[in-house]
Amino acid sequence: MGFLDFIFGKKKDEQTKQSVCQTVSDKQASKLASQKIIQSQAGTLPPTITPFAFKSDCHQRYENGSEVMGLQQCIRTVSVEKNTNGCRGYKLNPGDGYIIKVYNDDLGKPNMSDKPMRIISKAAEKVELRGFPIEVQTPFGWQEVDYRDYGFTVYYDKGKVVKCVLHMFDRNVDLEYRKSDASAPVKITANSNANSQFSQPSVKAIAMGPHSNLVLMLRL
């Protein structure tokens, strides 16, 4: 081996070592970047709720925080479904929030139109959901409706659903669905949106059809 071969061979070995070190460094950097992405996603992912169907045999209506009409002994199935394919009648992207349903078992049909909602707070004993502005299909085409007028609270006892409350904030009305053998009803206070008023006819009412308020009051 000549002197030049020795020099160039040594340089080649050094370049190989540098290349290996650079590869290891790149892999470590990539791994750290992936970990940061995962950690970031974990910190920004919205809270979740396990879908369920709750069969209530009685419900109580509240207006401005006071009981009205007495305890209604009738069967209603209240459910929370994960939004996997959107929701018929709405421009809703799959995966965005949950679908709230109330089914009238006595009449064998839905008690209200399905309501898309998102979780706004979550604790061990209570999960709160709220509607949001969304485009709804009406006889006049697609119209934006502010479904923040609707809310839904799920109460748990040892991980089991024990009661659900549907909130209609624009009317200061709450409907508490529970079972007759459940504990005393949760105290409902006047809604924080009690003073919220709308000066024009609601597109939401149009979407639900004529006499929607009367039908909703009679059925719920």
Number of alpha carbons in the 13 Å side-chain half-sphere of residue 200: 5
pLDDT (0 to 100) of residue 154? 98
**Distance between CA atoms of residues 118 and 47, nearest Å:** 9
Asked if the structure places residue 122 within a domain, the reply is yes
Output the pLDDT for position 26. 63
Contact yes or no for 1/9 (Cβ under 8 A): yes
Residue 17 has a pLDDT of 60
Q: Rounded to the nearest 5°, which phi and psi values hold at 180?
A: -60, -25
Number of domains in the chain: 1
**Residue with tokens 């290349």, as numbered in its chain:** 19
Q: What is the model's pLDDT at position 16? A: 60
* Contact partners, residue 128, CB within 8 Å, separation at least 6: 119, 120, 121, 122, 151, 152, 153, 154
pLDDT at 192: 43
* Residue 216 belongs to a domain: no
In DSSP terms, 130 is beta-bridged to: 118, 151
Domain-located, residue 214: no
pLDDT at 3: 55
Answer whether residue 157 is part of any domain. Answer: yes
Domain that holds residue 129: 52-178
Tokens coding 175: 């409907």
Tell me if 159 is assigned to some domain.
yes
> How many C-beta atoms lie closer than 10 Å to residue 59's C-beta?
24
What is the reported pLDDT for 29?
A: 55
Report yes or no on 197 lying in a domain: no
In a structure prediction context, what are the per-residue pLDDT tens digits for the chain, which is 220 residues long? 565 555 556 666 666 666 655 554 566 556 555 655 665 555 667 899 999 999 999 999 999 999 999 999 999 999 999 999 999 999 999 999 999 999 999 999 999 999 999 999 999 999 999 999 999 999 999 999 999 999 999 999 999 999 999 999 999 999 999 998 754 455 554 444 444 333 344 545 544 554 444 344 444 5
In a domain, 13, yes or no: no
Question: Within a domain: residue 20?
Answer: no
Q: Between vectors from CA 183 to CA 177 and to CA 64, what angle results, nearest 5°? A: 50
